[in-house]
Amino acid sequence: MSEKHTDAAIDITDVVCPITFVKVKVALEDLADGQTLAVHLNDGEPIQNVPRSLKDEGHKVLSVDQNGDGTYDLVVEKGGLA
């Protein structure tokens, strides 16, 4: 995984949809617009749904990296599409 500076991080590999997006949304509430959140999530529904839901909410997905172990690391900027 490449080292990127983020303002906060959350691991949602232990929860399933739709709780995955709820946890990300709650974590974003603690950040100011323009700050970034790193999200560690599973393959399947989470990687399909969370980025789309973030965009729908007006946030900008900066990167999605596949880890090779069935997980991904996503970096999102709060309010980046607003």
Tens digit of each residue's pLDDT (9 = 90 or more) over 8-37: 999 999 999 889 999 999 999 999 999 999
Residue 77's H or E segment, with its range, is strand 71-77
**Domain range holding 61?**
8-77
- Active-site residues, by number, are 17
Among 63, 9, 72, 11, which residue's Cα sits nearest to residue 45? Answer: 72
Domains: count for the chain: 1
pTM, entire model: 0.91
pLDDT of the residue at 5: 86
Q: Using one digit for the tens of pLDDT, what is the confidence trace for 30-75?
A: 999 999 999 999 999 999 999 999 999 999 999 999 999 999 999 9
Query: Does any domain span residue 39?
Result: yes
| Any domain includes 3 | no
Q: Is position 47 within any domain? A: yes
Q: Where residue 29 sits, what CATH number does that domain have?
A: 3.30.110.40
Q: Is residue 16 part of a domain?
A: yes
Query: For tokens 């900027």, what's the residue?
Result: 77
